[in-house]
Amino acid sequence: MLFKSLISSALLATSTLVSSVVADDLPEIEVVGNKFFYSNNGSQFFMKGVAYQQNTANSSDSSFVDPLADAEACKRDIPYLQELQTNVIRVYALNVSLDHTDCMDMLKDAGIYVIADLSEPDVSINRKSPEWNLELFDRYTGVVDLFQNYTNVLGFFAGNEVTNTKSNTDASAYVKAAIRDTKAYIKAQNYRTIPVGYSANDDSDIRVSLADYFACGSEEERADFFGINMYEWCGSSSFKTSGYESITKQYKNLGIPIFFSEYGCNEVSPRKFQEVGTIYGSDMTDVWSGGIVYMYFQEENDYGLVSVSGNSVSTLKDFSYLKAELASISPSGVSSSSIGSTSVTSCPTSTSNWSAATKLPPTPDQDACDCMAASLTCIVDSGVDSSDYADLFDYVCAKIDCDGINGNGTTGEYGAYSPCSDKQKLNFVLNLYYEENGSSKTDCDFDGSATTQSAKTASSCSAYLKSAGTSGVGTISGSIQTTKHTGITATLTGSSKSTSSSGSGSSSSSTSGSSSGSNKISLGLTTKSLLVGAVSIVGFGLIFA
């Protein structure tokens, strides 16, 4: 049953006046130990969030609706978010070609922060065939560049439910590499410190190891926060019965902030959100930093708080229940000055349920990939469609060792050229086959799919190519500068192998990812032109429950 939520113009005017005062002093949110704090006074920040994104496209050339690019929609919806005392919204995908200033300013005026996913549906980590590559790096840094100047950006998710079972834990190595490189990029650009983290599903087989994996390691590598999409509390339940007590004990020593990046089971309708009092109560606030309700918009999945038709908003029963529950809470926090030294979480050991390597994939670097591509003689013909690349990979890599372009998140072995574009990687293995078979013209034909070019090696490329080695399994390091990213020291770490093995398998983008030890070629099959430099970033899988 729907009922209209009526807000008078007087109330709107008062709300705007009050929130403007808040916005003038809206401080950045910072991470200290395993908690969030307001940077201006050191008081603890608890998320009272709502997921804010529709699951339908608003244009013919976009696979998602960017809610922060629609100023009229933001103006329409913000009063309802304020009714829920919302202080954070989660946005799953952003269009970097659009302007977000109006919405971000209105959200700031309302005292609302944004936590945004860096990927988008077509450019994200594929758990079945994960990679951390140039296109992903460009996408992630593009979002960072666009949103870093908004002080109400609380943080970024580098991935969402990428690893979701024990069979694809290897994908987490690629997500963690994205976190590492996104953080490095933010620092290198002298942007303000913006936390970068991960949003996980709740799988009992891997959830503890998954959190430990992202929270462990050096400051440069580990996530700044960890979110869990949690749907265990359904209907009438309790701290113990719901499983909240168990997971709170499991995460009590996690060294970074943890929160519910989604919550709100809808198996029982309407949702009365009885878990809210527990989430923000004394049983959980020492460990958890609040949560984000899924979701604002009513859709076929029946998780909505409101129904929207044009510029008309009708609140649902769930809205009123959530509003009442949030109005009754008063979480007790601590001050940032009371936080002592926090121990770093230990990395999980390898088990039958967990097999992600602590050694991470290399940082994608356009210059290094371009150096390699220019040095080749045998390359794919320009008339070959990218959809045919997989067949060429399969043929060539059945005959030669393709470890120089492969990556394996279980063994921690990554080819120096594994982050390069699909075309560059294909050119590399075609040329390798050509050279290993005598370098005759017939060795660079492939039924007309390949051709020769004049190989060129710039003086600035010599050291990189030598370090990578002929087969591409070495290590490339150096200070790489480009027009977009400057001053970042990149290290492309390849496999420690020094000799080739025969016939490593290759696979197309449809190859199923697993925790087995076999190498695989990851094909994004993209043709996007990139202006990318010396840091990497990972994808997130956009998931609308």
Helix, strand or coil, per DSSP, at residue 263 = strand
Helix, strand or coil, per DSSP, at residue 83 = helix
Candidate list 83, 120, 161, 325, residue with the active-site label: 161
Which residues are bridge partners to 308 per DSSP? 313
- 262 is a catalytic site residue: yes
| C-alpha pair distances (Å), 187 with each of 134, 141, 194, 260, 397 | 19, 12, 9, 27, 39
Question: Encoding tokens for residue 321?
Answer: 């229940």
Among candidate residues 115, 111, 113, the one with its CA nearest the CA of residue 92? 115
Question: Any residues with CB less than 8 A from the CB of 462 and at least 6 apart, and which?
Answer: none
Torsion of CA 303, 307, 313, 318, to 10 degrees: -40
d(CA 259, CA 270): 24
426 and 393 Cβ atoms separated by less than 8 Å: yes
Torsion of CA 371, 373, 377, 378, to 10 degrees: 160
**In this structure, what DSSP letter does residue 518 have?**
-
Candidate list 135, 262, 275, 413, residue with the active-site label: 262
d(CA 180, CA 426): 27
d(CA 424, CA 499): 22
Question: Any residues with CB less than 8 A from the CB of 132 and at least 6 apart, and which?
Answer: 125, 174, 177, 178, 181, 361, 362, 364, 407, 419, 536, 537, 538
Which residues are bridge partners to 30 per DSSP? 37
User: Within 13 A of 240's CA, how many CA atoms are on the CB side?
Assistant: 0
46 and 55 Cβ atoms separated by less than 8 Å: no
d(CA 352, CA 149): 44
Other C-beta atoms lying within 10 Å of the C-beta of residue 499: 7
Peptide bond into 419 cis (omega under 30): no
| C-alpha pair distances (Å), 543 with each of 140, 177, 389, 540 | 17, 21, 28, 9
User: Within 13 A of 286's CA, how many CA atoms are on the CB side?
Assistant: 9
Among candidate residues 462, 400, 403, 467, the one with its CA nearest the CA of residue 431? 400
Positions annotated as catalytic residues are 161, 262
